[in-house]
């Protein structure tokens, strides 16, 4: 699945039916899956996601006033807001595009009103960042409508602010960054503090990225996610009594943690241990991916999953089940849970000839172990966000 803007034709028909005119602008932004580097982003660490070929498309036309009329095609919902309206909507779906408008204007970008229809095929609730895709796509179309040159890193920063401060979900910057700056055939190694990034070629010929949705969907803005962040912040505060120059767990080495673990309670030790070792795994995985060292990548993915399960305690029985089924299937290089946890999806790197075998194993074993069915998405690393003029 490599065709981009594939939803534009259907969205254009919906736009013409609703607004009685043709759209003149289009934007697309993909979802993502994180290969490794989980719960490190808000600890100023490193992540290594890829954009996936499932995307959100927006078609739009500028208005002469400062109103934004939205049609969420997939949801069958419609809403209108004014560009100067900074009060978050009660409807969660509306907050994402509205938050982008608010945060772009706070960044001193002069916007124009829009009529817009959007939709796509990024699975919602599967830890594949459908919300970030909506945010990045709308940042692109607002910028195009107002003739604003908005570089990818700025789009990602604005989109993250919209999610954190307007929608109210305390994510890191990874989701928006990979959606804006993904590159076909590459992963993205991102330093979540400096926002320095490097595209890492996926030198694994004949290998697919397989996303396994457990069917257990949990909102990221939940109490357990917030607790993990609070645990990490508390660990930093305590470690700072011995390591005064640290700002986040990204500044703590494994040796630092071992030497000073006595200042932490048991929970803080486990949380910090995951983050510190996951950062090291992510940097090592980038080198292994570029070198085409499949065995090393697989081992690091397994270590990551075990750490998330045992130290960070964000896995779930369903996630453990799909990972165990995958790692027990011949031709699977490695597998791990991905995303915030407590449900959602796992990711595997799989030799192309083994994909059907993995699907069969999941179809047979996962319902037996969980009472559920897994949805499987087979993909390659895709291109990041784009905009274009229509007609």
- The terminus-to-terminus CA distance of the chain in angstroms comes to 25
Asked if 264 and 272 count as a contact pair (C-beta separation under 8 A), the reply is yes
Distance between CA atoms of residues 235 and 239, nearest Å: 6
Residues 6+ apart with CB under 8 A from 385: 27, 28, 29, 30, 136, 137, 140, 152, 155, 179, 180, 181, 182
Distance between CA atoms of residues 303 and 282, nearest Å: 11
Q: Is 196 exposed, middle or buried (0-12, 13-18, 19+ CB in 10 A)?
A: exposed
Asked if 343 and 214 count as a contact pair (C-beta separation under 8 A), the reply is yes
Asked if 130 and 341 count as a contact pair (C-beta separation under 8 A), the reply is no
Q: Closest Cα to residue 335, out of 15, 35, 19?
A: 35
Asked if 330 and 357 count as a contact pair (C-beta separation under 8 A), the reply is yes
175 is catalytic: yes
Please pick, among 41, 44, 115, 175, the residue that the annotation labels catalytic: 175
| DSSP letter (8 states) at residue 103 | H
Asked if 130 and 122 count as a contact pair (C-beta separation under 8 A), the reply is yes
The H or E element that residue 170 is part of is none
Distance between CA atoms of residues 315 and 131, nearest Å: 21
As annotated, the active-site residues are 175
């Amino acid at each position: 699945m490599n065709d981009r803007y594939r939803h534009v034709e259907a969205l254009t028909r919906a736009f013409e039916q609703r607004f009685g005119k043709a759209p003149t602008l289009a934007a697309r932004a993909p979802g993502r899956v994180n290969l490794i580097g989980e719960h490190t982003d808000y600890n100023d660490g490193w992540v290594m996601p890829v954009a996936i070929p499932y995307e959100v498309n927006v078609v739009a036309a500028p208005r002469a006033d400062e109103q934004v009329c939205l049609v969420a095609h997939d949801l069958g919902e419609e809403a209108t807001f004014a560009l100067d309206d900074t009060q978050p909507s009660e409807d969660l779906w509306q907050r994402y595009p509205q938050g982008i408008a608010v945060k772009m204007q706070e960044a001193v970008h002069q916007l124009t009103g829009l009529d817009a229809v959007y939709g796509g095929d990024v699975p919602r609730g599967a830890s594949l960042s459908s919300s970030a895709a909506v945010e990045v796509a709308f940042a692109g179309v607002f910028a195009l409508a107002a003739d604003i040159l908005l570089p990818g890193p700025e789009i990602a920063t604005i989109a993250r602010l919209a999610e954190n401060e307007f929608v109210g979900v305390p994510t890191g910057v990874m989701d928006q960054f990979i959606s804006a700056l993904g590159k076909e055939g590459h992963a993205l190694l991102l330093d979540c503090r400096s926002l320095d990034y490097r595209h890492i070629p996926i030198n694994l010929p004949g290998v697919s990225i397989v996303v396994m949705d457990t069917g257990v969907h949990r909102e990221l803005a939940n109490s357990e996610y917030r607790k993990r962040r609070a645990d990490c912040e508390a660990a930093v505060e305590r470690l700072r009594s011995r390591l005064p120059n640290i700002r986040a767990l990204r500044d703590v080495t494994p040796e630092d943690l071992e030497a000073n673990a006595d200042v932490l309670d048991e929970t803080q030790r486990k949380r910090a241990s995951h983050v510190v070792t996951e950062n090291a795994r992510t940097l090592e995985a980038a080198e292994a991916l570029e070198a085409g060292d499949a065995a090393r990548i697989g081992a690091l993915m397994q270590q990551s999953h075990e750490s998330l399960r045992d130290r960070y305690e964000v896995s779930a029985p369903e996630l453990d089940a799909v990972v165990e089924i995958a790692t027990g299937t011949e031709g699977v290089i490695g597998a791990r849970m991905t995303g915030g946890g407590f449900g959602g999806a796992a990711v595997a790197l799989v030799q192309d000839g083994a994909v059907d075998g993995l699907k069969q194993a999941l179809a047979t074993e996962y319902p037996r172990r969980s009472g559920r069915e897994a949805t499987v998405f087979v993909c390659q690393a895709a291109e990041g966000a784009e905009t274009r003029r229509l007609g």
